[in-house]
Chains A and B, each alone.
Chain A
Amino acid sequence: MSAYLEIAGVNHSFGGLQALNDCGFAIAEGGIACLVGPNGAGKTTIFNVITGFLRPDTGHVAFRGRPLDGLTPQAIVRAGIARSFQNLRLFADLTACDNVMLALPERAGETPFGALFRPFATARADRRRRGDALQLLDHVGLAARAADRVRNLSYGEQKLLTIARLLATGAELLLLDEPASGLASGALDQVMALLRRLRGEGKTLLVVEHNTRVVQQIADEVLFLHQGHLLAQGSPAQIIADPALAEIYFGGAL
């Protein structure tokens, strides 16, 4: 049986820097896998490779047994994989609701032709989309901020909004780049609860996370990346207990 998401033999260099070095791992469907490793380990780079934003020098990515090599980011979203960004990349001038609506899958009436020549059908379709978007906002606890511009949301609310936007794509595998970083404890708990809830709803999550406390609390499985290579994969307890990994992670501070 082929793995749910499988990465094999991926190499990629930026100039002289080898960001990914024979990187390979597989994750199973369902559950939360955390990708950890020191800065520069290649965590975001492998996200870019999986989601089609970066074409690796060599190597393959397959999802549900289907190769994704050479697909555009759009095609990969349609295949069922969507990602968030560490620096959020929300549309700051749009409302929270518009941010989510934009990511809903395309339907009829989204072309300029439809907008011009079938305005009523387009408006009806858009009202339905607004309803869907509001539901998703409600799901992440942002229903009250739907009509607010993103630039007026708090950082914690913006982080929740990136997750709502991710859900809007309809993808089943969500790649989250540091969803919990920079959050105060209240917002942090909210994000962690949301991630667990998504797992309960059948989503599969691959999460880049630095905070070991968060990793311990949410991860079903931990993948340890170092110098662009998968060093270890196991349960959170196994990985955190490994003194060699701690040495790498904390740079010999222990």
Chain B
Amino acid sequence: MDYLYSYLILAEIYVLLGLSTNLLVGVVGIFSVSQAAVFGVGAYIVGDCLLSGTLSFLPALALAAVACVLLNVLISLPSLRVSGDYFVVTSFGIQLLATATFTNWTWGTGGANGMPGVPPPDLFGASIESTRGILALTTMAMTLGCLAFWLILRAPFGRKLRAIREDELAVAAAGKGVLGAKVSAAAMAGAFAGVAGGLYATYLSFIDPSSFDLDASILLLTMVVVGGARTLWGSILGPFLLLALPQALTLLAIPTTYAATSRQLLYGGLLIAFALFRPQGLLGERL
């Protein structure tokens, strides 16, 4: 049972990340390959705050969200100037920079050894120790995230974001502002990633740079591609499916030494297969 709970908790956290990536990459078309870096900043901020005891869980989560909003707006800003392909390169650089920082800034992140012993989340003074309690917490966070994503997509604001992805110039010609909408979307995506990071750190109680590296960013993109861009159901299905696959692999009795490699192979193969044969994903639209 704990095994199932653990899967659900992680999948729900990744749904928040999937929403974040889908909003930025799928809806607005800011092709970021550094969403895992923002996720990491959220995780480390909450981890640091709880370990040092400076803040309790909710204020720490709020701090992480605000920091990730600012960070994501900042790293999305180049997309207002450089378009498409060039932004991917910029974003790639940001991800490398983040990984280097997570790995080498020993004082703040524990460096490559990671940050052990992050306390479990607490609400209003009561610590949530049980897996079931944490599942309730992540379910609530995921539900709120999904609701926000759904409300945004169905509103005129969501229509504007979709239009921006297709043709910024035509949006301007229709008398609509582009800059503010892009910044707002980046901010929202940042908040999602920050909250996901905080939940991740407190659930696992140990975080290290490998969860927030380029592979992780690409996993998030794979979730969007497999689930499908620009739909809520696609953003939910992608993470649940992709996190279930490694579990399915364990049933195949692959030696543990090959488990990590086979997972990367599987993800890479899926990404290629979907891009070629089903670009709209399972429940969405073409990226």
Contacts and interface: CB of A to CB of B under 8 A. Distances in A.
B173 A115 contact: no
A85 B174 CA distance: 11
A91 B155 CA distance: 17
Interface stretch (A12-20, A71-79, A138-146, A230-238): A71-79
A74 B172 contact: yes
A89 to B, nearest CB: 4
Contacts of B173: 51, 53, 73, 77, 82-85, 89
A101 B170 contact: no
Given A74-B176, A109-B156, A116 B148 contact: yes
B5 interface: no
Interface stretch (B83-91, B160-168, B208-216, B246-254): B160-168
B270 interface: no
Q: Is the interface of B mostly helix, strand, loop or mixed?
A: helix
A79 to B, nearest CB: 10
A132 to B, nearest CB: 12
Given A92-B166, A93-B285, A94-B163, A122 B155 contact: yes
Nearest to A115: B155
Given A74-B176, A89-B173, A90-B170, A101 B159 contact: yes
B174 A126 contact: no
Contacts of B157: 110-112, 114-115
Nearest to B180: A111
A78 B173 CA distance: 11
Contacts of B170: 85, 89-91
B159 A102 contact: yes
Nearest to A81: B175
Contacts of A65: none
A202 interface: no
B156 A122 contact: yes
A73 B175 CA distance: 7
A250 to B, nearest CB: 32
10 contacts: A73-B175, A78-B175, A94-B159, A102-B156, A102-B160, A109-B156, A112-B155, A112-B157, A116-B151, A122-B156
Interface of A: 51, 53, 72-74, 77-78, 82-85, 89-94, 98, 101-103, 105-106, 109-112, 114-116, 119, 122-123, 125-126, 129, 165, 168-169
Instruction: Pick the 9 closest A-B CB pairs, nearest first.
Output: A77-B175, A115-B155, A103-B174, A89-B170, A73-B172, A91-B166, A112-B184, A110-B156, A115-B157
